[in-house]
């Protein structure tokens, strides 16, 4: 494999071998090969020609159809801010479940630790205003797929947990074909019944975060 082929492979190292990517890669390889030959015909050595090509063609990100040029530092800062806000919401939402459960009470300390840690990190990065104009490309389709897969995984996770908990408490009734008896004698029994499911639903902050990450791409687009 010659040096030009190696370089082109390096340029496309982060992209999957979709048909459009393969075609673009071949087109760029052909054009750069012609450029290399022109440089060598004009008196450059192969090494000098490759250096010239690398300097004049350092990236293919701008040529990929679903790539968008954004302010990357602002984007990552806003992602961090989103996670921080969602953790605060989760912490507040989790308080009712910690009233009667020691493990849930300990979970509140985990939330506090995460919020404080991320808050410090956010504050340190927020002050670095000199990096606010840094730009880069992000793949819209890649982030969209991440969002979709996270929602699907979370939905499957919640359904499995709900089914597991239901079967765990009512397996004998199901096995012996007895009627499933769910007694609610008052507010406390309702609290005990609902709270385990409520705790699991708080994990919805995870897919919501990825949903927001996708929206933030367009908010930080370079116009």
- Same domain assignment for residues 75 and 162: yes
167-204 burial: b if 16+ Cβ within 10 Å, else e: eeeeeeeeeeeeeeeeeeeeeeeeeeeebbeebeebeb
- Same domain assignment for residues 127 and 36: no
- Same domain assignment for residues 49 and 108: no
pLDDT band at 148 (very low <50, low <70, confident <90, very high): very high
Query: What is the domain extent for residue 10?
Result: 3-65
As a whole number of angstroms, the distance between CA 221 and CA 216 comes to 9
End residue of a domain, out of 20, 38, 65: 65
Structural contact between residues 94 and 108, judged by C-beta atoms closer than 8 angstroms: yes
- Same domain assignment for residues 8 and 27: yes
End residue of a domain, out of 50, 65, 80: 65
- Same domain assignment for residues 197 and 121: yes
For the chain, give the percent of residues with pLDDT over 90.
48
Tell me the per-residue pLDDT of 61-105, one tens digit each, with 9 for 90 and over: 888 888 999 999 999 999 999 999 999 999 998 888 776 666 777
- Same domain assignment for residues 202 and 157: yes
- Same domain assignment for residues 25 and 102: no
Distance linking the first and last C-alpha atoms of the chain: 40
Q: How far is CA 120 from CA 112, 113, 129, in A?
A: 12, 11, 16
Q: How many domains does the chain have?
A: 2
pLDDT band at 173 (very low <50, low <70, confident <90, very high): low
Give 45 or 179, the one with higher predicted confidence.
45
Tell me the per-residue pLDDT of 177-187, one tens digit each, with 9 for 90 and over: 677 666 666 66
In the predicted model, what is the mean pLDDT of the chain?
87
- Same domain assignment for residues 94 and 158: yes
- Same domain assignment for residues 39 and 140: no
Check: pTM over 0.85? Answer yes or no: no
Q: How far is CA 214 from CA 18, 199, 217, in A?
A: 22, 26, 6
- Same domain assignment for residues 164 and 78: yes
> Which of 95-99, 109-113, 191-195 bottoms out in mean pLDDT, i.e. has the lowest?
191-195
Mean pLDDT of 25-37: 91
Answer yes or no: is pLDDT of 191 > 90.
no
- Same domain assignment for residues 167 and 74: yes
Answer yes or no: is pLDDT of 1 > 60.
no
The DSSP result for 18-65, as a single string, is -HHHHHHHHHHHHHHHHHHHHHHHTT--HHHHHHHHHHH----GGGST
Torsion angle in degrees (nearest 10) through CA of 36, 38, 44, 48: -20
- Same domain assignment for residues 53 and 77: no
Give 169 or 161, the one with higher predicted confidence.
161
Q: How far is CA 161 from CA 25, 111, 154, 209, in A?
A: 45, 22, 10, 21
Tell me the per-residue pLDDT of 132-141, one tens digit each, with 9 for 90 and over: 999 999 999 8
End residue of a domain, out of 65, 80, 111: 65
């Amino acid at each position: 494999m010659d040096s030009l082929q190696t370089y082109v492979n390096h340029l496309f190292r982060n992209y999957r071998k979709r048909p459009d990517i393969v075609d673009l890669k071949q087109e760029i390889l052909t054009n750069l090969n012609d450029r290399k030959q022109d440089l060598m015909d004009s008196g450059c050595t192969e090494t000098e020609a490759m250096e010239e090509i690398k300097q004049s063609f350092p990236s293919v990100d701008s040529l990929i159809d679903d790539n968008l040029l954004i302010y990357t530092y602002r984007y990552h800062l806003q992602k961090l801010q989103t996670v921080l806000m969602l953790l605060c919401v989760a912490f507040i939402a989790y308080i009712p479940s910690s009233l009667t459960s020691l493990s849930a009470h300990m979970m509140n300390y985990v939330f506090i630790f995460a919020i404080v840690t991320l808050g410090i990190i956010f504050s340190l990065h927020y002050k670095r205003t000199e990096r606010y104009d840094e730009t880069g490309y992000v793949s819209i389709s890649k982030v969209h797929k991440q969002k979709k897969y996270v929602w699907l995984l979370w939905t499957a996770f919640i359904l499995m947990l709900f089914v597991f908990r239901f079967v765990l408490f009512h397996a004998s009734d199901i096995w012996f074909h007895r009627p499933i008896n769910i007694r609610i004698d008052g507010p406390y029994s309702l609290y005990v019944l609902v709270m385990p499911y409520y705790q699991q639903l708080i994990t919805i902050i995870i897919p919501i975060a990825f949903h927001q990450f996708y929206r933030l791409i367009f908010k930080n687009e370079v116009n």
